[in-house]
Amino acid sequence: MIKVTAIETGKARMKTAQRTGRDERGPVGRKIDIFRDPNWVDPLPILCFLIEHPEGRFLVDTGDTWRNSVPGYLPGWNPFYRQVSIRVAPEEEIGPRLRDMGIDPARDLSAVVLTHFHHDHTGGLDHFPHTRIIGPRENYAVSTGIRGMMMGCLPQRWPVWLDPELVVPDGPAIGPFPGSWPLTNDGRISLVPTPGHVAGHCSVVVQGDDVAYFIAGDATYLQDNLHAERTDGVTNDPATARATLRAIKTFATQQPTLILPAHDPDCAVRLATKAVFA
């Protein structure tokens, strides 16, 4: 029995031009579009996903932290952070959320998997000082130092103990994905490469009992954008991002699949109703 649960850990707001980039625009043009865009999308959930599997409980992403709602937490020199707005109450962080579900974040998880190292996926890491933390090596490499700080990561805010197990998805192909990194011995949970939103981004594929779950991180912000093959406004590599969307669509047409992006407001309903991608 495998169960996947969406856990909302506060809200994020972004410009419409961040959620959906213009197809004809390159990486720089997309960022200009975000700065010029006066329109904000409605607040979006910041989601983590709990996978309960016979080999253990696994958490995908950790959300953001209430500290990000406090002036001074985000570096003022980076104007990009004025294009996003994070609202997380202390009790909305992933640690309290898990405790509300009867799960002790310090003891009850086998591993935490990060799809990528953006701040709204790593902000809850403080709750897991003794847990195995797994993340994609290629994305970690572009997420540290000044480079990472320019690109939406806050390495200066990561817990001092953070020493993630960095993995490369060079294992068996899964459907359209050329490689994978199996998380469980039975191969039913794997990381697959979904680059584009950022270099080295990975998604998590869960082969459930009746459907597959595609925990997409930020490979797409919205199932509708996946349908339309619309890439986001922050990608530095729109062509790669588009190829990733096509691969996810191919996967989801090869077997009944629930698409679960980290900021898609419909994930909880999609899980409750088993609304597969079609």
Contact set with Zn ion (CB under 5 A): 118, 218
Q: Is 80 helix (H, G, I), strand (E, B) or coil?
A: helix
Q: What is the amino acid identity at position 11?
A: K
Of 126, 148, 131, 121, which Cα lies nearest the Cα of 60? 121
Residue placing its CB nearer to Zn ion in the complex, 123 or 208: 123
Closest separation between CB of residue 201 and Zn ion, Å?
8
Cα 34 to Cα 31: distance, rounded to the nearest angstrom: 5
Residue placing its CB nearer to Zn ion in the complex, 64 or 93: 64
At residue 225's C-alpha, the angle toward residues 219 and 231, to 5°, is 55
Residue placing its CB nearer to Zn ion in the complex, 31 or 118: 118
Cα 116 to Cα 134: distance, rounded to the nearest angstrom: 10
Q: Is 121 helix (H, G, I), strand (E, B) or coil?
A: helix
CA within 13 Å, CB half, 157: 23
Of 256, 260, 135, 105, which Cα lies nearest the Cα of 199? 135
Closest separation between CB of residue 236 and Zn ion, Å?
12
Which token pair is 77? Answer: 């020199």
Closest separation between CB of residue 142 and Zn ion, Å?
12
Closest separation between CB of residue 166 and Zn ion, Å?
18
Residue placing its CB nearer to Zn ion in the complex, 152 or 208: 152
Closest separation between CB of residue 118 and Zn ion, Å?
3
Residue placing its CB nearer to Zn ion in the complex, 92 or 218: 218
